[in-house]
Amino acid sequence: MIDAQLGVETALKRFERYNPKDRILALDRLLVVLEELGNPHLDLPPVIHVGGTNGKGSTTAFIRAMAEAAGLSVHTSTSPHLVRFNERIRLAGKLIEDDYLVSCLERVEAALKGHRQITHFEAAQAASFLAFHETPADLLILEVGLGGRYDASNVIKAAACSVFCPIDLDHQAFLGNTITKIATDKAGILKPGCPAVSAIQNDEAKAALEAEAARTGNEIDFLTPDDLALIQPPLGLWGEHQFSNAALAAKALKAADIQGITSEAIAQGAASARWPARMQRLSSGPVTALAGERPVWLDGGHNPHAGRALSAVLDTLDSEEPAKRTMLVSAMLANKDARGFFAALNRPGLRVFTCPIDNNENSFTPEELASAAREAGAGAEAHQSFRAAMESAREAGAERILICGSLYLAGKVLALNDELPD
């Protein structure tokens, strides 16, 4: 398996030579390559297209679990991956095999004819469209990578349903520095005449979505308390915010008119959904050993909205496990709102132990991240390795450790703890 994975990594690395110098977000490059491949993106199973800022992965997990509980065969396209690139492409319920993934990537490279430009993400999306086109399934859940209007997933011409998860500030360098600009870009996945559903949004995001819907002739059906009332415990994912994600998933399946989605399938899927690094309790392993076998939780959230959700989850945990003193071990990409994330957690006496993301030059230094945490009112210590941060949190008296701030860090933690997503 290691040799096969090396083949995947080698095939992916070759696309670095084709990376454009500017206009990272665009559709024309990918469309040229897809045409060379026979336009596989135009012949796919019914597509549920999932956009937004927070909760895309969890909502996708709920949609898949509910559809599979109804006996349907489901493809999924998600990003980023945590440990293995194959996690991004799930064919009829199973991660794409290494050899088939390499074959799809090689065909994409051949279509470039040695001179065309394409981003790494566009190449991966083209390979996924080939696989989705060639493998039978009843449904494709297609998660937006970045933004919406010019995201590589948005080359599809129609959707059974467009889905908008909660929208907040993120990726401002690409999408704009206001909620209105970001929401307008994300609304670009709307397709005329196709159903659309949305989570409860703040006023600015809602107004931007509705304005774009009016321009394209769509109507967006926003989540209501009645929708939320249909989702009852237990849920497969932790946190009160997951009830909204599950309700949005059920609403999307109904709007898409996917056959077989009964109340029983919705309940079963809500309970069975799994999505790694979203408030995941780690199993006993090398990482929990660093914590002295204290409870260790893992979450990839990295913006203020995610911080508020994590704070609510910790409140729930505190009510169930009184007197558990939680400390954070955190790393984060440098383009994220670190101060806003820690401020949103809003917990008295919060202590943060920062570390780098190994082999990632785009992350905050531990000192920079610790400074942002202090600006948000938390106590913070900078450490030069994940191991040192974990051991310092344990020695400082942590009774529960939450590792958070980055999906890239989360992937390294899962690999270290021998918990590979499947």
Report which residue type is found at 210: E
Q: What is the largest CA-CA distance in the chain?
A: 62
Alpha carbons 143 and 126: distance in angstroms, whole number: 14
For Cα atoms 188, 191, 197, give the angle at the middle one, nearest 5 degrees. Answer: 85
pLDDT of residue 4: 54
Token pair for residue 187?
């609304």
Spell out the residues 6+ positions from residue 210 whose beta carbon is closer than 8 angstroms to its own. 220
- Residues of the chain falling short of pLDDT 70: 1-6, 322-323
Token pair for residue 321?
């496990």
Question: What would the pLDDT profile of 121-176 be if each residue is shown by its tens digit?
Answer: 999 999 999 999 999 999 999 999 999 999 999 999 999 999 999 998 877 777 88
pLDDT of residue 1: 40
Alpha carbons 182 and 171: distance in angstroms, whole number: 9
Element (H, E) at 121: helix 120-134
Alpha carbons 324 and 268: distance in angstroms, whole number: 31
Read out DSSP for 68-88?
HHTT--EEEE--S-SS-GGGG
Report which residue type is found at 330: S
Cβ atoms of 146 and 243 within 8 Å: the answer is: no
Alpha carbons 91 and 71: distance in angstroms, whole number: 15
Report which residue type is found at 364: F
pLDDT of residue 288: 97
- Residue 20 CA: distances (Å) to CA of 11, 67, 106, 143, 250: 18, 38, 19, 23, 39
Nearest by Cα to 352 from 337, 334, 335, 370: 370
pLDDT of residue 2: 42
Tracing tokens 């040799």 back to the chain, one arrives at 3
Cis peptide before 234 (omega within 30 of 0): yes
Report which residue type is found at 71: G
Residue 47: beta bridge partners?
140
Cut 0.85: pTM above it: yes
Cβ atoms of 50 and 113 within 8 Å: the answer is: no
Nearest by Cα to 351 from 298, 393, 390: 393
pLDDT of residue 6: 66
pLDDT of residue 173: 73
Token pair for residue 416?
């270290």
Nearest by Cα to 283 from 412, 416, 94, 96: 416
pLDDT of residue 177: 82
By three-state DSSP, how is residue 414 classified? helix
Q: Do strands 296-298 and 280-281 pair parallel, antiparallel, or not at all (unpaired)?
A: antiparallel
